[in-house]
Amino acid sequence: MRDGSSSGASLCDFGPPPPCPVRFNLAAHTLAAGPDDKIALTVARAGDDPNPERMTYGDLRRRVMRAAGGLRDLGVAPGDRVMLRIGHSTDFPIFFLAAAALGAAPVPTSTLLSADEARFIAEETEARAILVSEGLALETAPAPQIAPEEAMGAPLDAFADTTADDLAYIVYTSGSSGRPKGVAHAHRAAWARRMMWRGWYGLSGDDVMLHAGAFNWTYTLGAGLMDPWAAGASTLIYAGPRDPGVWPRLAETFGATIFAAAPGVYRQLLKSEAKLVGMKRLSHALSAGETMAAGLRADWNAKVGKPIYEALGMTECSTFISSCPDAPHRAGMAGRPQPGRKVALLPIEGGAIDGSDAPVPRGEAGVISVHRSDPGLMLGYWKRPEDTAATMRGDWFATGDIGVMDADGYIRFEGRGDDQMNALGYRVAPEEVEAALVSHPAVTGAAAVELPVREDLSVIAAFLTCEGEAPDEETLRAHAAEHLASYKTPKIFRILPDLPRNPNGKLRRRDLIAEYGFKPAK
C-alpha cells in the first residue's frame, strides 16, 4: 500500500502516466472501443421501463458524425467555440463530441444559469454558435441560436486531425473575481481520464454504469458517459420523474454493475422507503461532488453492504485523488493519488512562487498540488493568463485545497485554503454571489459563505448590511435569482449591523461560519 517514498515528505509519485499519442482527438478516442452492435447507452423513463431508448455504438458514432457535419454546414470551423445550452437530453453528449470531432471546442453550460450568466459566457468565448433546447433561447445573444434537431447534416468524413495539446473544450467555474472563469482543456484530458478507470471506477468493458446525474452535468458527461464509452462499457441514464427510490429498480432491471451519484442522492435514497435489492447486486458505487458524511456512509454500509469509492478533484484537473478497489476507503480520508499521478502537499504559508519550496512532512497540512506534467491538467483559464500564472508554483499546480497525507499516501481533505463554496457539487466563489447581492440598491455589504446547517448538510448563506429599511427575504431571494443560477442563490439571508473584517478591511467569512454554523453536540 505504501508509495515507496522514504523521505517522509508529502509527495506521491504513482507515475508515469500512460503516454498520450501526439495526434489525438477526444471524440475519436471516446468512440473507438465499442463494437457497432453493442449497446452504448440506455435511457430509461421508469425503474422497470419495458421500452427504454437504446443506442448502439454504431448508432452513437453515426449521430455524432452527423451532428459534426451539421455544425460544419452551419459554418463552424476547427478552433471555433460552440456553446451548449441543452437540457437533460442525449443531444448534450452528442453535440459535445460532435464539436470535438470537428476540431471545434464545445462550451458546456448548465441550464440553471441566468440569461446574464449565459450571455457572458457566449460573449467571452466568442461562440460561433449556441445549441439551445426548447425554452432555453436567450432573448439576445452574440451568436446564432440553433435547435439541435436543426443542426444535423451529412456525416463528417473523418475526425479532425488534432494534437493532444490542442484546445478541446471549455468548462466555466465560479471565479474569485466575481466573474465565472473558463477552464480550457486540451484533447489529452480525455486520455488522462484513463487513470481513473483503475484508480477510482474499477471500470472494464463488461460494466454497466448507472449514473444518477442529468446528461448536461459534467460529472455525468465524464464519469457516466465518456469514460464508460472509451472503455467499451455500457451506460444507463434515467430520464423519468425525480423519484429517489428509482435507482435500485433501475439497477436490477438493467443489470447495472456500478452506480455513480453525489452524496445527496445517496441520502435521499436511504431516507426513502425503496427496496434496496438492486443496489446489493452492484459491484460497487461511486461518489463525488462533495465529501460524503461518515454517518451516511455507515447507513449505506449497514443497508447495502457494497463499497462506495469516493473521489476528490476540481474542474481544472477532474478527479485525481480517490479510493478504489485497489485502495479501499479509509475513514476520514479522501483517498490516494491515482496511478499515474504525481501529487504533493506544498506549504500553506510562505511558499516560493518558483516552486523551490519542498513538500511539507507527512502528517502536516499543506496545499494539495498536482504536477504540471499531468495530462489532465488544464491548458489554463480562458483569456485569464494572470489567473493561470497565479495557480502555478514552479512545476506544481496549487489547487487551493488543504490536505494532510499519511504514511500510505492517503490524503485527508481539510477544506479550501480560500473561501470557495460547494453547492450541489458545483464550486461557487463567494465574490460572485456577493457581487449579485450588492447590486440591490438597499444592500451596502455582503458576505456569502458555505454554512453547515446540520452534520451532513451545508448551504450557501448570505449575510448582508443594508441602508435604510432592509428588504425582506423574499425580495432578496428574487433579486439574487435574477442574476445567479439557482444553485448559486443563497438559501439563507441574514441582515447584520456589520460584517466581520480584519484590520485591512478584508472580510472574515470564517468568523460567520463559526458563529452561525451548526455545532455538533460534544
- Compute the distance between CA of residue 214 and CA of residue 449 in angstroms, rounded to an integer: 27
- What is the per-residue pLDDT for 7? 61
Q: Which residues pair with 494 in a beta bridge?
A: 463
Q: How far is CA 175 from CA 161, 183, 372, 471, in A?
A: 33, 10, 21, 27
Three-class SS state of 175? coil
Consecutive 10-residue averages of pLDDT for the chain (522 residues)? 61 88 98 98 97 98 98 98 97 98 97 92 98 96 97 98 98 75 98 96 98 95 98 98 94 98 92 94 94 89 97 95 97 95 89 72 95 97 96 94 94 81 80 90 93 89 94 96 93 96 79 91 66
- Compute the distance between CA of residue 332 and CA of residue 518 in angstroms, rounded to an integer: 19
130-140 as b/e: b if 16+ CB within 10 A: bbbbeebebee
- Compute the distance between CA of residue 218 and CA of residue 169 in angstroms, rounded to an integer: 12
Whether the Cβ atoms of residue 282 and residue 258 lie closer than 8 Å to each other: yes
DSSP string, 214-244: -TTSHHIIIIIIIHHHHTT-EEEEE-S---T
The DSSP 8-state label assigned to residue 279 in this structure reads G
**53 half-sphere exposure, CB direction, 13 A CA radius:** 12
**Strand 457-466 vs strand 443-454: parallel, antiparallel, or unpaired?**
antiparallel
Identity of residue 176: S
- What is the per-residue pLDDT for 15? 80
- What is the per-residue pLDDT for 2? 45
- Cis omega (within 30 of 0) for bond into 16: yes
Query: E strand or H helix at 65, and its extent?
Result: helix 57-73
The DSSP 8-state label assigned to residue 268 in this structure reads H
Whether the Cβ atoms of residue 130 and residue 143 lie closer than 8 Å to each other: yes
- Compute the distance between CA of residue 242 and CA of residue 334 in angstroms, rounded to an integer: 29
- What is the per-residue pLDDT for 23? 98
Whether the Cβ atoms of residue 440 and residue 471 lie closer than 8 Å to each other: yes
* CA terminus-to-terminus distance, the chain: 35
Query: E strand or H helix at 59, and its extent?
Result: helix 57-73
Phi, psi of 309 (to 5 degrees): -105, 125
| 164 burial type by CB count under 10 A (0-12 exposed, 13-18 middle, 19+ buried) | buried
